[in-house]
Structure 1
């Protein structure tokens, strides 16, 4: 009986192999990018955040030495953001013109010098002037980082990367709180007050890192000799293609970014979120101090707790926002959670200090978990010069809240002596902003990936 003729084995022409190879290349490339760029950026932001917020620990010492009351402290703490807002967009233009390495070095060195100079304020006027100049010097760093990520990280992966970057905020406060408390104990050493030592010791690292920045950073993927050739080519091609879709057709893309209504809308929402972040951050040492009588070291450790609890939550929530694509929902839920925490703390401060601290921890978790999914939305909208301008405007408008919030909290505390009212004010800002974020962004592609195929307004 004749045997059936067997068919020669066929080659696997399934598209899964090239798809798998492409996925492997992208994963490998982005893993290298995260390992090379993120640690440097995170340390930079950690130092920046420490230098802008450590004034919260200096408040009591400056009150005794310089006679600052709550309203004067609130104005000085907030005036930092006036300089920041004024110089934000010009600074981002400098970043686009001169590149990340040179411009971030300039920012780090100038703000480090001024952070050290804070040790030598002699009264209200010099306090206001140096806080203003410190804000002007640091202006542009945060939006420069957001813009930098638009050059290195595809939009689909950006919320997770932003989450790792934003971890610098609670980490800076978690590490900086006990450090600041310990430095305050140097009171009288070499004739300087403890708060003066705190400003000096915590300001110097910014100068050192600024000197090193040109060696540590790479401006664009095409210049990344630390990537293999295929990785460098894939990342350059991917980012160029992605940014080309979003580039403005205007002859003046930088101006187009400033005029874009989406930048204005996200900037105003950012203002509400920032009110909660800095209203809590700049006053938390004072709020915790009102729970009882503590030494400087004990106060630093207690203030550390809410921030330490926020760290794993920020990482998990930002990764979840990336995985689901529901950035608007994640940002909104976080802000409302923070509002609940602040209200609970406000009503429990005089009743049960431990529960009040627990609610402050909930507030810190909510506030910091909101940042990455929120900022991933405007950073997915713009590219190129329009991104430098648009993201600068988003951050500039947002940081108006950094002035308004501490100042209003200071006025409330000075006029009423009531911390509860101040916390309810901050909670109201966050709750309202959370609702607006969901209403505006949930149906938009940058806020909800599943909405990308639905018709939506471009502006």
Structure 2
């Protein structure tokens, strides 16, 4: 169980803080620094480009024997980039810092997933993967609460610094808990499951996951900035991000259990469908209530989708996980840039959210193509559910 806790802390640091603290801090950075939506989108895209590079790197260099050493290095690099975000306001330097943060986030995410999911597979407890991925939700919730209070007293630069210092302590615990590694799970069932993924459904899953990356990140990047435009919640737009984080905490466990009962493809399709409703909701109901519902549905699904996809791919090695994450990251590179341009040119967030919704609907339809393959494997009673 210590290994799961170590993984939770790693995701808390690298994803919940390193990647997603940018979202609630963005309105304060824009107000103090006169950042346009387009420039903010480029900063986000730099982070996602780094995430893409990190994921691609692990498809070529699996680091199977040295994954703990590489994970440690990436984890502490991620903490360093969080701290440096608070000591400069040079835009070009921030672009580089966000890029390095993205690289380290991808490496931490993939290698921590490999270590923890392998361990859970050996224990025959894949449903516990939901507990592991809840680390992202905990990080988002923590950053939402802390940022509101810190920025009110200090500044957005000081907020980055304090978050980074807190992550140093957590990184020491994470490294200690993840230190022991377990052998790879091996069984005929796992072999058959991986063959199903790699030879039958993987191309479609890659496309669907890439589209999910394009669509979800629009809300993931701009939802707090959208909240700042609504009069009823202008006073504390980070409250919306707190809803996202709180909804994300149990979502991974809920969706992992759902996928066990209904099948992985059905679970993925349901999560994507619900997410598409959440993303478009502020367009249909442009009020504080509408945005709160959107935040809840978004929080309940975005990490749940990742949980299902990575649980399906468990035991396939870091190259498969890296390939899936690379497609996801590639989508994330496009999403904020396109959304930022749409928002700047139309002076409205509606076009960006409609674009994101279309991407998620397409991902849902493509993901459903895996249903015949899952039935094929399940009928052969070779898949571990």
> The TM-score by the shorter chain falls in which range?
0.7 to 0.9
Give how far 1:329 is off.
Answer: 0.5
Q: List gaps (5 residues or longer) in structure 2.
A: none
- Deviations along 1:359-407, one digit per CA (max 9) or x if unpaired, are 3322332333322223222225x2xxxx121211111121112211111
Equivalent position of 1:88 in the other structure: 55
Kindly indicate whether residue 299 of structure 2 is the aligned counterpart of residue 364 of structure 1. Answer: yes
With the length of structure 2 as denominator, give the TM-score of the two structures.
0.87
If asked which structure has higher relative contact order (CA below 8 Å, sep 6+), I would say 2
Work out which of the two has the higher radius of gyration on C-alpha atoms and give 1 or 2. 1
- Deviations along 1:299-318, one digit per CA (max 9) or x if unpaired, are 33343124323433442231
1 CA distance for matches of 2:188 and 2:153? 52
Equivalent position of 2:312 in the other structure: 377
Alignment of 1:343-354 (within 5 A): 343-349=280-286, 352-354=287-289
Is contact 1:44-1:206 (8 Å) kept? no
Equivalent position of 1:275 in the other structure: 214
Aligned equivalent of 2:278, options 300, 324, 341: 341
How many pairs are equivalent?
A: 380
Alignment of 1:219-230 (within 5 A): 219-221=180-182
Give how far 1:113 is off.
Answer: 0.8
Give how far 1:244 is off.
Answer: 8.3
Kindly indicate whether residue 324 of structure 2 is the aligned counterpart of residue 394 of structure 1. Answer: yes
2 CA distance for matches of 1:331 and 1:155? 24
Aligned equivalent of 2:246, options 305, 308, 318: 308
- Deviations along 1:6-44, one digit per CA (max 9) or x if unpaired, are xxxxxxxxxxxxxxxxxxxxxxxxxxxxx2211111111
Q: List gaps (5 residues or longer) in structure 1.
A: 1-34, 188-193, 223-235, 250-256, 455-459
Equivalent position of 2:255 in the other structure: 317
- Deviations along 1:146-201, one digit per CA (max 9) or x if unpaired, are 322453122895652222222222222222212111121233xxxxxx11011111
SS at match of 2:266: helix
Kindly indicate whether residue 130 of structure 2 is the aligned counterpart of residue 202 of structure 1. Answer: no
- Deviations along 1:204-263, one digit per CA (max 9) or x if unpaired, are 2333344444432244336xxxxxxxxxxxxx7xx24459846999xxxxxxx9x97855
Is contact 1:162-1:372 (8 Å) kept? yes
Alignment of 1:158-177 (within 5 A): 159-177=126-144
The 1:433–1:65 alpha-carbon spacing in structure 2 relative to 1, beyond 3 Å, is same
The 1:56–1:89 alpha-carbon spacing in structure 2 relative to 1, beyond 3 Å, is same
With the length of structure 1 as denominator, give the TM-score of the two structures.
0.74
Is contact 1:264-1:394 (8 Å) kept? no
- Deviations along 1:103-135, one digit per CA (max 9) or x if unpaired, are 221111111111111112323212212111221
RMSD of aligned Cα (Å): 3.0
